[in-house]
Amino acid sequence: MAGRLEGKVCIITGTSSGMGEETARVFAREGAKVVCCARRVEKGQKVVDEIVAEGGEAIFVKCDVCELEDLDNLVKTCVDTYGTVDVLIANAGTGGFFNIHEMDLEKDFYRLFNLFARSSWYLSKLVLPYMMEQKKGDIIFVLSTAAIEGCPQGSAYSGAKAAVDRLSKALAMAYGPYNIRSNTIMPGLITTELSTPGGVVERMQLPYIPLGRPGNVNEIANALLFLASDECRFCTGADLIIDGGNKAGLLYPIPKGSDLRTDA
């Protein structure tokens, strides 16, 4: 099926690599007008150039989501170029894992909360008036399964992601009457430049994934495509967990030589 986002204006943050890059490509192939943004100008512009070369429509805006002025400029550029905004994909982010007693309040805690929670709230504030005027819109936050679990050395990371999850629920409740939907996706282990094949994150998580493999960025992009499309209009305030079954239950290793069918 093609054209699932035909004519929709979509802002996607963090498009210079990984899930954001792939989502920008998939959305453009489905007919969206994609406003891409990232801090890394050369990589971000390269993605846009390749989308345009393939026949898609996209522009690039340099943006650090921790800077409110950059977010103002991102939404202004989008509206100046395309007249409105139909879809916001808040994807930009990075990892950040620290022992609480060793954390620096400014460099560690505030940085992660600004990166995830403040930027998501502020971007929502900026795009909502346009969505309210047209009586339709989609806001989708790319979170992590860390938002629903305790994460060792991830107090600020998990806390910031969880805060955005509650923000999404509040938006769904408050703006549903305007036909504006707010949802999240919660990826588990996904292969990106932050989680490389054979790296420590993969080695730590892989034994506890029932499907036995990491996810890939295309699987995330297609989940976002479904949530942003008109095929999914009755879904709001939801969390879509994409983790190969990791959060389906507790995966206890069976002791060697044991058999759960016969052991009392």
Distances (CA, A) of 245 to 17, 140, 187, 213: 25, 22, 11, 10
Half-sphere exposure of 21 (CA within 13 A, CB side): 17
Spatial contact of 28 and 52, defined as CB atoms under 8 Å apart:
no
φ/ψ of residue 29, rounded to 5? -65, -25
Spatial contact of 61 and 79, defined as CB atoms under 8 Å apart:
no
Give Rg (Cα) of the chain: 19
User: Active-site residues: which are they?
Assistant: 157
Task: Please report which helix (H) or strand (E) contains residue 183, including its range.
Answer: strand 180-187
Cα 182 to Cα 193: distance, rounded to the nearest angstrom: 28
In sequence order, what DSSP letters do the residues of 44-98 get, joined into one string? Answer: HHHHHHHHHHTT-EEEEEE--TT-HHHHHHHHHHHHHHHS---EEEE-------B
Spatial contact of 163 and 116, defined as CB atoms under 8 Å apart:
yes
